[in-house]
Structure 1
């Protein structure tokens, strides 16, 4: 399996982790979910991220999910989230998943980091721990981690560590960060791949700012695939039309604490996974929320039919 590089582009769907209704790993649904994502046009997957409920898995389960996903993915690249409070756990899981054939690992900063120097030192320690031959995705998601990483600090980290080949951009607001990073590259700094999260809520603007694609878990990956493709062709108005049809559901997913429940419900409805269950603790949609989601899906379908 090929490794990710600073030139990696496209849509890497952040995959959920399927569970049965009693909270056990649903291995059959891992296969059906992987097939679903690739059938919808995904270029690769990212597993064991925040959407993958990684903190609720044991180390053995994390390795099992990785093995199942890699086996089903064939030659498609799979990035594995290895974020953990301690570097020893990051190093152990990284070695295991890279030995299995992962395309790279993703690391978010721990919430304990407070200063620029601490952030820079942390990623220096990460690279030393996992090895300079392992491609790393730096996850910049301050809304969840509470860690604010400036463009200047990102530049310092990228210059110091060529093995950090990708930024998972989830700052909000963060469009200017993309522009500033690309401007710095135009002035001579090495290139870094930028794939964006936040459920694709800003994907049309992100692509026009210079992003290389999406790395997020919206339950209609075909939207992101179409928007990235059309944007790459310079068809920004067409990309916006596609995005607009999905926007109400994208917006609904942004509710803190409920987004994963919405995504898993939709994925189950679409046949990607057998159950919408989350491992405890985890929120579930009540009858009224399900009614709202169903209404949004129906309106979305009608808008897409009108476009076609």
Structure 2
């Protein structure tokens, strides 16, 4: 498992009856890889994992692994119980995934002893390479750099951190304790340039679902130290990237996909598609961005807009 580059937190496509559209998802996955993405993260928050049944999760993993043969597919592991999380981790391993992105338990916010036990049990459940997902804003559990170092010392298959605290100082703090022992990924779209400057080497991205060419170009400019090019592209992209950082990020990102012809705005309840002032404002932001969209070469999307 090579933890590097732009890895989309892939959205889950639904048809008119809100069943999973596997055909579209295969085309979508292929298109993002063709545009330079280095792997795919399935069943994450952006993938609406909480609305998927266990069988649906398995079917998604099987489809994407078969579609992008040889490209890393990472399964996000989120559950209410440790036993459920372990079961999903083993299922991911059995179905050809290359890595796991491990989340803290849903709903129950335990102390460090409990949370560590949950994470450690998942790490030990398979030999797959593991990424720890730190998102205290969304999940209420904050993995401090010292705690991450503790886990690192005890688990040889713990290889990466998705840092979504929105504080880029965390990247420096983790590296100060562990040097290059763990690969650090930025997990919020509007901190990618700052995160790379602090030492991150990857990006679990959201808007990439609609604009992979721009996302990969931005990452490459920042990683290669092309500051002028990176800042110019970043300034253009930021109004869209900020959509990844608000409660309705799923609805917003799927809406952008729909408007640029690479997806549908459909979401499963309790989420509902945006309407009214939210829709008007989102359209305005997207319209302004598209007026000055940079000319970046991209692979053509092979599927019709759904």
Of 241, 247, 251, the match for 2:242: 251
Tell whether the 8 Å contact from 2:86 to 2:121 is kept in structure 1 after alignment. no
Tell whether the 8 Å contact from 1:204 to 1:236 is kept in structure 2 after alignment. no
Residue of structure 2 equivalent to 1:160: 154
TM-score (norm 2): 0.89
Query: Taking structure 1 as reference, are residues 305 and 77 closer, same or farther at Cα in structure 2, changes over 3 Å only?
Result: closer
Q: Which has the higher contact order (CA 8 A, sep 6+)?
A: 1
Residue of structure 1 equivalent to 2:301: none
Q: How many residues get paired?
A: 294
Tell whether the 8 Å contact from 1:223 to 1:243 is kept in structure 2 after alignment. no
Residue of structure 2 equivalent to 1:179: 172
Query: Taking structure 1 as reference, are residues 286 and 217 closer, same or farther at Cα in structure 2, changes over 3 Å only?
Result: same
Query: Taking structure 1 as reference, are residues 307 and 77 closer, same or farther at Cα in structure 2, changes over 3 Å only?
Result: closer
Tell whether the 8 Å contact from 1:140 to 1:167 is kept in structure 2 after alignment. yes
Answer with 262-271 or 13-22: which moved more.
Answer: 262-271
**What are the superposed Cα offsets for residues 205-259 of structure 1, whole Å, 9 maximum, x if unpaired?**
0000000120021132333311221122211231111111011122244332x21
Indicate the RMSD between aligned Cα atoms, in angstroms: 2.0
Q: Distance in 2 between matches of 1:289 and 1:14?
A: 23
Runs of 4+ in 1 over 4 A off after TM superposition: 305-308
Residue of structure 1 equivalent to 2:55: 60
> What is the 5 A alignment of 1:1-308?
4-5=1-2, 8-110=3-105, 111-128=107-124, 130-131=125-126, 133-172=127-166, 174-186=167-179, 191-198=181-188, 200-218=189-207, 219-256=210-247, 258-273=248-263, 275-305=264-294
Tell whether the 8 Å contact from 1:87 to 1:126 is kept in structure 2 after alignment. yes
Paired residue secondary structure (1:239): helix
Tell whether the 8 Å contact from 1:36 to 1:272 is kept in structure 2 after alignment. no
Query: Taking structure 1 as reference, are residues 71 and 306 closer, same or farther at Cα in structure 2, changes over 3 Å only?
Result: closer
TM-score (norm 1): 0.89
